[in-house]
Amino acid sequence: MRKPQLLVTAVILLIVGLWGMRTLQQPAPPIFAPSLSQDVAEVAPAQPRSDPARNDPLPAFLPHEARQTIALIQRGGPYPHNKDGSVFGNRERQLPQRPRGYYREYTVDTPGLSHRGAKRIVTGGDPPDAWYYTDDHYESFRSFEVPATGERHE
């Protein structure tokens, strides 16, 4: 008589434990994830804009090395890191949901490091129509625009 009660209790504890694990493992709400119907400017209006005095159409928050990476992306490579151009899965759910393969990631070099570091540019589309920069390895992103440079060279 005691064994069925123990079994029922164990099953209930297992179900509660699995439910709790799933609930606790849910990702935190995204820092930046505009809805598909919401303009990015509505979500992050305080982004620095380009500086006409520098004759640079890219935002001031991008480091010099990011500009080099953008130029490589626009040329279609070659890229210094073998993972550059690979699919970015958006597992962190920080960017708008899109079909797998829409996002690609590229390394932004950090001077003085012997490894890839935490800085990346993630693009969406081919050719890219969405551009994002992260300096904290996908914890947060800043959207930016890149002026069209003509056709992409494969």
Cite the active site residues. Answer: 105, 137
Q: Which two tokens stand for residue 98?
A: 């899109």
Let me know how long the chain is. 154
